[in-house]
């Protein structure tokens, strides 16, 4: 069991490093947005300037990634509830991979904003709304 714990901690550290690097790359791409026109048909590239409220929404939807160290701690102990080792491993990796889903969501919303505005806004707002609902249910007990 001790070697399993060590491997999980190594994996957690690697995932955290990957998440930090990907968030840094996304931030630089969003920050350096420009209008690029093609010479042939004057088609506007996807890097056209986006509204500041949408950029703020994307940054807010990435904020749950800051809870990643807490989720690492929770993932180490939540697996003890399952007797099946395969299910325990799936739950652990499912919890550990949630930042990847958030990052994929941010990339998708950023790339498809001009093609599908409503879908991009809904997908970008979903993590923020889920985060708010989670904390409302957590702190408001009646």
Predicted confidence (pLDDT) per residue in 34-50, tens digit: 545 444 434 445 456 78
Q: How many CB atoms lie within 10 A of CB 96?
A: 19
Give the pLDDT confidence of 92-117 residue by residue, as tens digits: 777 788 888 888 998 888 888 888 88
CA–CA dist 92, 79 (Å, integer): 7
Q: How many CB atoms lie within 10 A of CB 107?
A: 15
Q: Structure pTM?
A: 0.57
What is the rounded average pLDDT for all residues in the chain?
A: 75
CB 62 within 8 A of CB 50: no
Give the pLDDT confidence of 116-135 residue by residue, as tens digits: 888 888 988 998 888 888 87
Residue 40: predicted pLDDT: 47
Average pLDDT over residues 21-31: 75
Q: Which pLDDT band holds residue 80 (cuts at 50, 70, 90)?
A: low
Residue 29: predicted pLDDT: 73
Residue 5, SS3?
Answer: helix
């Amino acid at each position: 069991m001790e070697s399993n714990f060590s491997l999980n901690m190594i994996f957690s550290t690697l995932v955290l490093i990957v998440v930090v690097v990907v968030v840094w790359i996304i931030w630089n791409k969003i920050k350096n947005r420009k209008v690029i026109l093609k010479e042939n048909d004057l088609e506007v590239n996807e890097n056209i300037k986006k509204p500041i409220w949408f950029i703020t929404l994307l940054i807010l939807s990435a904020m749950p990634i800051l809870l990643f160290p807490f989720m690492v701690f929770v993932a180490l102990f939540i697996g003890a509830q399952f007797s099946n080792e395969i299910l325990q491993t799936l739950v652990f990796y499912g919890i550990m991979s949630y930042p990847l889903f958030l990052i994929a969501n941010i990339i998708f919303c950023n790339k498809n904003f001009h093609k599908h505005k409503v879908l991009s806004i809904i997908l970008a707002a979903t993590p923020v709304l889920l985060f708010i609902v989670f904390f409302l249910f957590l702190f408001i007990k009646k």
